[in-house]
C-alpha cells in the first residue's frame, strides 16, 4: 500500500510539473481536472483499500477468517497495558513532530527551487516561495492530526473525531478561508490560512481529548470488546 500510495502521488506531481511549463492556462485546467478526479475517483477507492488492506489481508492470507473481528481491537490496550499505550502515544507524537520539523525546514530552505519545478514563470515561482511558510506550518499540523486521529480510531472514538473534523473545517476553516480570501482580498494566501487554522483547531481539540484520556478505563473497555467479540464468534 505504501508503494501504491507513493506511485499514485508521484503520477500527479510529475504531471503537474510537466504541464506547468506549458503555461498558466494549461496548468489551471489540469489542476481542476486532477482535483475533480481525486474527489470523484481516486480518493474513495484508495480510502477503502487502505482501510481493508491490513484487516482483510492478514485474515484472508492466514485463512483465519474469524480474526476479522479480533483485529479491530487487538492492540496494547486489549492486553491490559494502559501505561505502555500512553507511552506509545507520546513516542509517536515526538517522532511526528521531529519528522514535520525536518520536512518543514527542507521546504523552507528550498522554497524557490520548489516553484521552478512546476513553472518557469518568475511570478509563479515567487508566489510559491511566499506560500511555502504556510505549507511548512500545514505539514506540522497534518503530522499531529495523523497521529491524534490514529489514537482516536484505536481508542474507539471515531464519532468524537468525526465531530471534531466537521467542526474544525466547516465551522472554522472554510468560513475563515472565505473571509480572508474574498472579504480581505488575500486570495490564495487567505484560502490556505483559513484551512490551516481549521487544521490547527482540529489538532488542538484532539490533543486536549487525548491528554484527558483515562487510559486504564480505555484498557478495560478494549478488553470487554474483545471478549464480547470472542463470545459471539464461539456461539
Q: In the chain, what are the domain boundaries?
A: 1-62, 80-235
| Phi-psi label, residue 121: left if phi above 0, alpha if psi -120 to 50, beta otherwise | beta
Q: Is the pLDDT of residue 234 over 60?
A: no
Q: How far apart are CA 173 and CA 193, in angstroms?
A: 8
Longest Cα–Cα distance in the chain: 69
Give pTM, 2 decimals.
0.66
Q: Is the pLDDT of residue 58 over 70?
A: no
Total residues belonging to the chain: 235
Q: How far apart are CA 1 and CA 8, in angstroms?
A: 10
Q: How far apart are CA 207 and CA 49, in angstroms?
A: 28
Q: What is the pLDDT of residues 160-191, one digit of tens each?
A: 888 998 899 889 999 999 999 889 988 888 88
Average pLDDT, the chain: 76
Q: What is the pLDDT of residues 204-229, one digit of tens each?
A: 998 898 888 777 777 677 666 666 65
Mean pLDDT comparison of 13-17, 27-31, 39-43, 93-97, highest-scoring range: 93-97
Mean pLDDT comparison of 19-23, 54-58, 65-69, 72-76, highest-scoring range: 19-23
Q: Is the pLDDT of residue 68 over 70?
A: no
3-state DSSP percent of the chain in helix, strand and coil, to 5? 85, 0, 15
Going by C-alpha positions, the residue among 128, 126, 124 that lies closest to residue 136 is 128
Amino acid at each position: 500500500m505504501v508503494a501504491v500510495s507513493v506511485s499514485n502521488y508521484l503520477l500527479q506531481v510529475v504531471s503537474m510539473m510537466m504541464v506547468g511549463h506549458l503555461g498558466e492556462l494549461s496548468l489551471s485546467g489540469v489542476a481542476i481536472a486532477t482535483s475533480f478526479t481525486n474527489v470523484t475517483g481516486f480518493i474513495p477507492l484508495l480510502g477503502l483499500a487502505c482501510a481493508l488492506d491490513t484487516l482483510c489481508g492478514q485474515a484472508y492470507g492466514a485463512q483465519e477468517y474469524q480474526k476479522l473481528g479480533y483485529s479491530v481491537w487487538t492492540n496494547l490496550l486489549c492486553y491490559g497495558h494502559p501505561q505502555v499505550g500512553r507511552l506509545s502515544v507520546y513516542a509517536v507524537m515526538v517522532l511526528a513532530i521531529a519528522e514535520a520539523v525536518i520536512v518543514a525546514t527542507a521546504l523552507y530552505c528550498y522554497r524557490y527551487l520548489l516553484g521552478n519545478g512546476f513553472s518557469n514563470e518568475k511570478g509563479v515561482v515567487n508566489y510559491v516561495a511566499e506560500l511555502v511558510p504556510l505549507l511548512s506550518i500545514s505539514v506540522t499540523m497534518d503530522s499531529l492530526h495523523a497521529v491524534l486521529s490514529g489514537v482516536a480510531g484505536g481508542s474507539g472514538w471515531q464519532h468524537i473525531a468525526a465531530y471534531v473534523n466537521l467542526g474544525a473545517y466547516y465551522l472554522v476553516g472554510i468560513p475563515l478561508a472565505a473571509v480572508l480570501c474574498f472579504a480581505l482580498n488575500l486570495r490564495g494566501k487567505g484560502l490556505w490560512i483559513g484551512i490551516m487554522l481549521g487544521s490547527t483547531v482540529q489538532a488542538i481539540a484532539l490533543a486536549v481529548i487525548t491528554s484527558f484520556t483515562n487510559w486504564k478505563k480505555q484498557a478495560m473497555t478494549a478488553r470487554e470488546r474483545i471478549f464480547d467479540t470472542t463470545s459471539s464468534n464461539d456461539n
